[in-house]
Amino acid sequence: MSATFTFTIDGKEIKASPGQTIMEAAEAAGVYIPRLCYSKDLRPHGSCRVCTCMVNGRPQAACTQPAAAGMVVDNNTDEIQAIRRDLVDMLFVDGNHFCPFCEKSGNCELQAMAYRLGITAPRFPYLWPERSVDASHPEVFIDRNRCILCGRCVNASKDIDGKNVFQFVGRGEHKRVAVNAEALAADTDLKGADRASMVCPVGAIVLKYKGYATPIGRRIYDQKPIGSEIESRRK
């Protein structure tokens, strides 16, 4: 194995191994870089851009950009946090997100990210898109109103489940996650136990009959903000 090297994030020296992304090296060092589409066990997708950092003065997605010796990374600056707030704000108005009754509330990464970034209300006009719901599957409920196009389900189905159940179709504002069937999820070989059924960061793909089973106060983000589990590793 090649020798480790160092670079800096917000002035702090970070150790990294060749091939590690900025995100991976930061996480190992207990530095949290906000992210939504990234999931540790999946190939980085680089689509949400919430992990954007200034790398040697240029904006780069930390989840896809390999770390390099001597790199200077700005993560937690006012300028970058403002960019992240805009990105997350746009995700909220781009879909139909009703946190007050969404079963993912308290466990939702998008909602938790908004809280972490200090977003209390959207600043952009709602687009109120028409999105479909697919309740056909006996174990999984799909609500595209809440989809943020992170691609986790697509990659998990392909790379972990070996099934290719989900795929993106359409372009631009018409882009959406489709199922690999004539019409409905019930016609695919998707199972509730599949990784693809469990990786959704929002409430777009949820297991049926589980909603609200965890009381308020004991949900993932009720006690600590998103990212605090990574920051707690910081020495």
Partner 1 sequence: MVTTADKSAGTRKITIEPVTRVEGHGKVTLLLDDKNKVRQARLHIVEFRGFERFIQGRPYWEVPVMVQRLCGICPVSHHLAAAKAMDWIVGGEKLTPTAEKLRRLMHYGQMFQSHALHFFHLVSPDLLFGFDADPAVRNVIGVAAKFPDLAVQGVMMRKFGQEIIKATAGKKIHGTGAIPGGVNKNLSTQERDFFLKDMEQMLVWARSALKIAKDYTAAHLAELKDFGSFESNHLSLVRADGAMDLYHGVLRAVDSQGKKVLNDVDYQGYFQHIAEEVRDWSYMKFPFMKAIGPEAGWYRVGPLARVNTCDFIDTPEADAALKEFKALTGGKPNNITMAYHWARMIETLHSAEKINALLHDKDLQGTDLVVKGPRREEGVGLIEAPRGTLFHHYRVNKQDQVVMANLIVSTTSNNEPMNRAVQKVAQDYISGKPEITEGLLNRIEVAIRAYDPCLSCATHALGRMPLDVEIVDCEGSVVDRRQRD
Write out the residues near partner 1 by the rule CB under 8 A.
Answer: 100-101, 103, 133, 135-136, 141, 208-209, 211-217
d(CA 90, CA 93): 5
Instruction: Let me know: does 160 contact 198? Beta carbons within 8 Å.
Output: no
- Strand, coil or helix: what is 158? helix
Q: Look up residue 193 and give its amino acid.
A: A
Report which of 19, 27, 115, 30 is spatially closest to residue 69, judged by C-alpha positions: 19
CB of 218 to partner 1, least distance (A): 8
Q: How far is CA 109 from CA 10, 37, 137, 190, 226, in A?
A: 24, 10, 24, 23, 7
d(CA 235, CA 232): 8
Closest CB to partner 1 among residues 57, 217: 217
Closest CB to partner 1 among residues 191, 219: 219
Closest CB to partner 1 among residues 146, 195: 146
Instruction: Let me know: does 146 contact 185? Beta carbons within 8 Å.
Output: no
Closest CB to partner 1 among residues 86, 103: 103
CB of 235 to partner 1, least distance (A): 35
Closest CB to partner 1 among residues 87, 140: 140
CB of 141 to partner 1, least distance (A): 6
